[in-house]
Structure 1
């Protein structure tokens, strides 16, 4: 405990000398951490943040469904399913290679022009995020499915279970324990990336912060948006850490280290 206290004090001293004690800190504090600007911009940034939460809630559902479908297509056995496996593999290769911001431009600007009508930014943002993150999440799900030993499938089929029953009752429950930590990490990453929908003209937290900054010539609204995103991510991060530690303890139970 004494060592921890001493190291914490030493770290605080280093921060004070290298950051707070620098000549330009007063100007940085005024431009980025002004309490009055923080309080004034919080309501508008919060209203935009609610739009981010709406896109995030829709994306969680759509990404889960699409990613599971793609992962199942990639795990199909037999040469007859080769076209489906090739399409699923091509999908993951393409959308893992294209940056999300480009997908947002292609969907947000291309689809309305193609259909020649206005489309909700929430819908466009959800589609773009779904296309990108389904590629990543599907690989996590596929890895979790393939991590289940083949003997589990064989035992289930020997008991008379069909392919769908084997997946639902035997494979997926075991795979879920293995893939939950990386899925939570992808969820945290998606929480941040929903802020990119501002490039489509949506007045979300990032765009609201930009508007407030243009009015006050102060960058504190960006800090407000950053604080909101961090507060959103912390519970998921802590939950992921707790579940990972719990899973590690369960797997190492009774072992000699």
Structure 2
């Protein structure tokens, strides 16, 4: 099969550094996506029409266009329009964070709508404010129900992070490409990168199942 993994051994430390580089921007993107997604989900269930329109338009744009297009717009268009030389790291965070928020908002909205309406009515009857009701009653139950869907979104984000290599960000995939170009062999470094991605996703899946199990037993 003409395979020689010994040639990538000297490059393994270089490629392993890509794990931290990848997780650094993915973690920030997840945080941004979760916070903004939660806000957008509340916009979608509010009675204020303008907020619902804003949230729906936002979701339509970011779910209706390719993530790689959004990434390239941030990286190439912002310098053209503003003169600001945006870094690959910041471009990746903005594109992935804003894109994730659109999907997370739909997941959380569905979770909120799935909570028994009787609890909302009971809270209102007791004089609980809308803010307190959402924070202390509705959102905790919704998050418990949608945790598998949220973990799936975060896992998908981790796998899709490989596309940041197109803007030169030195993530795991970009490092594998550099190694392949240096040794004139692409299969071995790409396969090694694929193994690392699989391990990261496997660990995230295990963490998600553990958290889900603990939440279930805490009832």
TM-score (norm 2): 0.92
Q: 2:177 aligns with which of 210, 218, 226?
A: 210
Given that 1:195 and 1:206 are in contact with CA atoms closer than 8 Å, whether structure 2 keeps it comes out as yes
Per the alignment, residue 61 of structure 1 pairs with: 31
Q: C-alpha separation between the residues in 1 aligned to 2:46 and 2:160?
A: 31
Given that 1:91 and 1:135 are in contact with CA atoms closer than 8 Å, whether structure 2 keeps it comes out as yes
CA deviations over 1:116-168 (Å, ceiling 9, x no partner): 13122111100000121111111000000110011111101111111101101
CA deviations over 1:76-135 (Å, ceiling 9, x no partner): 12xxx1111011011111111111111111111111222213122111100000121111
Given that 2:31 and 2:97 are in contact with CA atoms closer than 8 Å, whether structure 1 keeps it comes out as no
Q: 2:43 aligns with which of 67, 73, 80?
A: 73
Name the stretch that deviates more: 48-57 or 158-167: 48-57
Q: 1:42 aligns with which of 7, 12, 21?
A: 12
Per the alignment, residue 140 of structure 1 pairs with: 107
1:38 is displaced (CA, Å) by 3.4
Per the alignment, residue 108 of structure 1 pairs with: 75
1:237 and 2:215 are equivalent in the alignment:
no
Q: C-alpha separation between the residues in 2 aligned to 1:37 and 1:49?
A: 20
Q: C-alpha separation between the residues in 2 aligned to 1:141 and 1:246?
A: 20
Given that 1:72 and 1:142 are in contact with CA atoms closer than 8 Å, whether structure 2 keeps it comes out as yes
Given that 2:30 and 2:100 are in contact with CA atoms closer than 8 Å, whether structure 1 keeps it comes out as no
Aligned residues: 218
Given that 1:48 and 1:208 are in contact with CA atoms closer than 8 Å, whether structure 2 keeps it comes out as yes
1:245 is displaced (CA, Å) by 6.2
Name the stretch that deviates more: 66-75 or 190-199: 190-199
1:229 is displaced (CA, Å) by 1.4
Q: Which runs of 5+ in 2 are unaligned?
A: none
Name the stretch that deviates more: 156-165 or 228-237: 228-237
Q: C-alpha separation between the residues in 1 aligned to 2:174 and 2:127?
A: 56
TM-score (norm 1): 0.79
Q: C-alpha separation between the residues in 2 aligned to 1:118 and 1:156?
A: 50
Given that 1:41 and 1:209 are in contact with CA atoms closer than 8 Å, whether structure 2 keeps it comes out as no
1:40 is displaced (CA, Å) by 2.2
Q: How does 1:16-55 map to 2 (within 5 A)?
A: 26-27=1-2, 30=3, 34-55=4-25
Given that 1:156 and 1:166 are in contact with CA atoms closer than 8 Å, whether structure 2 keeps it comes out as yes
